[in-house]
Amino acid sequence: MKVAIFPGSFDPFTVGHASIVERGLPMFDRIVIGVGVNDKKRSFYDPEQRVEAIRRVYANEPRIKVVAYNDLTIDLVRREGAQFILRGLRSVKDFEYERDIAAMNKRLAGVETVMLFTEAHYSDISSSVVRELIAYGKDVSAFLPQPAQTETNLLK
Ligand code: ADP
């Protein structure tokens, strides 16, 4: 059974994230979306809202599980019996950071990271830009998967 962890802050989960999950599904038997909770960093949405929003998106996809975690991604990898970490690469800005984290995770836990290049039409979409737009009252519905916005009150 091939299991991948897709870790991130997902604050909030965007159509760019959803595209990585969708493209990862044919490669793995199961994907566990790990919502990272950092007690020292204040988030825009609280962890429960983020988890709930993503669960709604994948309510009909039994191969996807959504969990919150507040330790290292490699700890989540071990708990879930995963062999892979899935990440998206938007630009060269992401590259060096991702390469270092992937190398460290391989060193510490023997886990391989699979990187997918972002589809060009999603490369400008980031959670931080979406948060900024929400803060200024702009419509961000084009950037969030539909089930996530309708029922979770993500658009506060
Ligand atoms: P983190 O805080 O760990 O960077 P994010 O929630 O920002 O987490 O992103 C999680 C993963 O999704 C990362 O691998 C990131 O590169 C990827 N990602 C973010 N936005 C996009 C996008 N628009 N298209 C594809 N992948 C993306």
Which run of H or of E encompasses 31?
Answer: strand 30-36
pLDDT band at 152 (very low <50, low <70, confident <90, very high): very low
CA distances from 74 to 25, 31, 82, 126, 132 (A): 20, 15, 9, 24, 31
Distance 58 CA to ligand 1 centre (A): 18
Summarised one tens digit per residue, pLDDT across range 26-82 is: 999 999 999 999 888 889 999 999 999 999 999 999 999 999 999 999 999 999 999
Catalytic residues: 17, 41, 90, 127
The set of residues, in sequence order, having a beta carbon less than 8 Å from that of 55 and lying 6+ positions away, is 66
Q: In this structure, are residues 71 and 37 in contact, taking their beta carbons and an 8 Å threshold? A: no
Closest atom of ligand 1 relative to the 87 alpha carbon: 14
CATH class in words for 3-152: alpha beta
Closest atom of ligand 1 relative to the 11 alpha carbon: 6
CB 9 near ligand 1, within 6 Å = yes
Q: In angstroms, rounded to a whole number, what is the distance separating the alpha carbons of residues 152 and 15?
A: 16
Summarised one tens digit per residue, pLDDT across range 98-145 is: 999 999 999 999 999 999 999 999 999 999 999 999 999 999 999 999
Chain centroid to CA 44: 15
